[in-house]
A and B are shown apart, each in its own frame.
Chain A
Amino acid sequence: MMRRFSGSSRMRGWALGVAVVLWGFSAAPASAQKDSCVACHSNLPGEYGRPAKLFSSDIHHQAGLSCADCHGGDRTDDSMNAMSPAKGFRGVPAKAQVPQFCGRCHSDPSYMRKFNPSLRTDQVSEYFTSVHGKRLKQGDTKVAVCVDCHSVHDIRAPSDPRASVYPTNVAETCAHCHADANYMKGYKIPTNQYALYEKSVHAAAIAGGDTSAPTCSTCHGNHGATPPGVSSVANVCGTCHAMNEQLFEKSPHGAAFARMGLPGCVQCHSNHEILKPTDALVGTGPKAICVTCHVKGDNGYNTAQKISEGLDNLKAGYQKADQALDTAEKSGMEVSPAKVELTSAHSDLIKARVAVHSFNAADVLKITNQGVEISHKAYEAGIAALHERDYRRKGLAVALIAIVIAMSGLYFKIRRSERG
């Protein structure tokens, strides 16, 4: 019954002893089917035992599969025979073989249908269109393969928050390689993307629980991990920021940027370090981006100035009205209709900020002027309320004086009539 296999004689003796002991305890595993792989390997030390120990949390295990379903062999056989090539044992795949290893099932629609009919089965073919896949074919084994991103033996579904490919974890997973300057030596790409991304609004949104916010794979794709070409960056941002993209494409910048080979949205907003934009970014001020290209006197400069003024006017008008209404409300005046009207001025401010991407001063000013008018009306309503409040207080003073006069009149009448 003894089989030849690689390893020291001490190892051999150890394994034999364990096998004999386990043979006596070979009860059926928790899953309906017998799994001798896990049963044996979970008692082995170090790296021999780790996969089996991790496997209980693996999605494949939960689907009823065992080690043998990937690595081959016979899960019902308690002997060392379980791992014979005759029984189809494939062993540990080399890194370059991993995509096909996983693809044996994951690219087989009729097989995958049995487990999850809605799962895609083109991941491997998509992978080989990516830089990772292409370089792997050329012999670069430093690139990411399936198990680098999805982990191995404790693979969780992407919808599981503990999965390495869950949206909140994706950036960290990519950063394992892409933020490691030593590892990435030799490749001509920067390694600061993760650090920059962590500062962005998108990272903050994801950290705040919004899993619809973009992470690395949202813009770069996951299996077809091709860096987007300059011409397609605006298309990526536009998937969510549709209005901004549409306006941008029709704007003077759209054609001009394409002609100059500039990366659309990224030119002003950056690709990884996308910070929360402020009104100061537009215009001719110290923080403005427009003046990085435009100079005083050119059309762009003048447009930027007008747009910036429009936004500032609306913001100032809105704040003035808000303050007046707030003061009126605090002194007890009923101004809720005016407050409701003012909210549309705030909406106009948001719309104007989107309209900036048309880089057309007239379009932006149309919206800001509307908002300024609404703000002005609300401000007038606030001032009117304050005047009404003052009128009421003056009226109260007059009434109180009259009442005091009446009361003193009564007092003197009482005194007079009682003295007699």
Chain B
Amino acid sequence: MAGIKRRIFGWLDERIGGGSLEEFLRHKKVPLHRHTIWYYFGGMALFLFVIQVLTGILLLMYYRPTASGAFESVQFIMTQVKFGWLIRSIHSWSANLMILIVFIHMFSVYFMKAYRKPRELTWVTGMLLFFIVLAFGFSGYLLPWNTLAFFATKVGTDMAGFVPFFGKWILVFLRGGKEVTGATLTRFFGFHVAVLPGLATLLLALHLLLVQRLGMSVPPGVEKKIKEGKEPERSMPFFPNFLLRDVMGWYGALGALGALAAIFPWELGVKANPFGSAPAGIHPEWYFLFMYQTLKYLPPKILFINSELLGLLGFGVAGAIWVLVPFLDYKHGFGRVTRFFTGLGIFALGFIIVMSGLALF
């Protein structure tokens, strides 16, 4: 058995140099310290992305991206297609789980200061991936074309209209018209299955390449302890040790997804009626709730400026600061500046959790 494996690898190595990959994998090390657990979240996000792609491709075979066909095709998938219910529910649950994992991954990287030199670009590509994942969530949410999806999209795209100067153009571009219609559905479908996957693949490749080239970062505190000799520098090989542990986690995630799909199937809802009124208490999905709740708390006008615009601006500025943190935290992980940014991070996390909680309850 091992001989056959050797022969195949050899054949490939002669043609595409697979051997160097194996070499490289054997050399990759994962640092061992009390924060090692957070290293798993990146891989988990990747695993869930792969799940999304696979289940998405299967759904693509039955889904119809038109106002007259979308809801019915999802109903068909849920009721008639063999295991359609499983694939669709896994796709919906995995989407939510992925966004949660991505949030955790982002915050753990932030608090471990893994964005320090030379990993600034890894952080930036990661942030772009984060925005793409949110866009995936937003565009995918409309596709079942039920009441909740329709009105959540209407409210969400309404926000785009508040951007100064370009707002109206952005809104029309997103909606494929002035209102949310079948044209919006087809457009969002195009974004969801073509544009965003393409962008995501490119950025993901870049992100992973950077991670492999630059190796795993160690938090500043641990680094300091190692330098001072208070802690030994321990690590484990990525292949097979870390990877096997990764796979264990992935199996667990798969089990969780299966359980969620079987016991809490994703609902079909009622077909969207564009002429109907928004259901009472309509709100976006949980990952946008903190922004939605913040806008709700702002008074209609602050100093003659429309509060939606102010809210958008606020979040825009906050997002920009967040993306530029590697360049702003110039003390490279030590000193008052870093502590300020740690505090900022705690504030951001707390803000998101509290606002989401307030919106839900």
Contact = CB atoms under 8 A, between A and B. Distances in A.
Interface in B221-253: 240-241, 244-245, 247-248, 251-252
Contacts of B79: 334, 337
B263 A393 contact: yes
Given A399-B258, A403-B254, A407-B252, A336 B244 contact: no
A47 interface: no
A334 B75 contact: yes
Given A399-B255, A410-B251, A334 B240 contact: no
A418 interface: yes
Contact of B240 (A336, A395, A404, A417): A417
A332 B240 contact: no
Contacts of A25: none
Interface in A379-410: 392-393, 395-396, 399-400, 403-404, 406-407, 410
B307 to A, nearest CB: 40
Contact of A334 (B244, B264, B268): B268
B75 A410 contact: no
Interface string B75-97: 10011000001100000000000
B265 A414 contact: no
A410 B262 contact: no
A403 B255 contact: yes
A334 B85 contact: yes
A413 interface: yes
A246 B192 CA distance: 61
B263 A332 contact: yes
Contacts of A404: 255
Nearest to A413: B244
Contacts of B50: none
Nearest to B255: A403
Interface in A80-135: none
Contacts of A393: 262-263
Contacts of B86: 392
B349 interface: no
A385 to B, nearest CB: 9
A5 interface: no
B259 interface: yes
Interface residues of A, number: 21
A336 B258 contact: no
A187 interface: no
A336 B75 contact: yes
A337 B86 CA distance: 19
Contacts of B259: 396, 400
Contacts of A399: 255, 258
A418 B234 CA distance: 14
Given A411-B248, A418-B241, A396 B75 contact: no
Contact of A407 (B85, B251, B262, B263): B251
A410 B241 contact: no
| Candidate in A337, A403, A404, A406 with the most chain B CB atoms within 10 angstroms | A403
A413 B258 CA distance: 25
B263 A410 contact: no
Nearest to A418: B241
Contacts of A334: 75, 78-79, 85, 265, 268
Nearest to A333: B265
Given A334-B268, A336-B268, A337-B79, A396 B262 contact: yes
Contacts of B267: 332
Interface in A300-347: 332-334, 336-337
A404 B256 CA distance: 11
Nearest to A404: B255
A332 to B, nearest CB: 4
Nearest to B236: A418
B335 to A, nearest CB: 38
Contacts of A395: 262
A410 B255 contact: no
A392 B86 CA distance: 9
B78 to A, nearest CB: 5
A396 B258 contact: yes
A410 B252 CA distance: 12
Contacts of B263: 332, 393, 396
A332 B262 CA distance: 9
Contacts of A332: 263-265, 267
Interface of B: 75, 78-79, 85-86, 240-241, 244-245, 247-248, 251-252, 254-255, 258-259, 262-265, 267-268
18 contacts: A334-B85, A392-B85, A392-B262, A393-B263, A395-B262, A396-B259, A399-B255, A400-B255, A400-B258, A403-B252, A403-B258, A407-B251, A410-B247, A410-B251, A411-B248, A414-B244, A414-B245, A417-B241
Given A393-B263, A414-B248, 18 more contacts: A332-B264, A332-B267, A333-B265, A334-B79, A334-B85, A336-B75, A392-B86, A399-B255, A400-B255, A400-B258, A403-B252, A403-B255, A403-B258, A404-B255, A410-B244, A410-B251, A414-B241, A417-B241
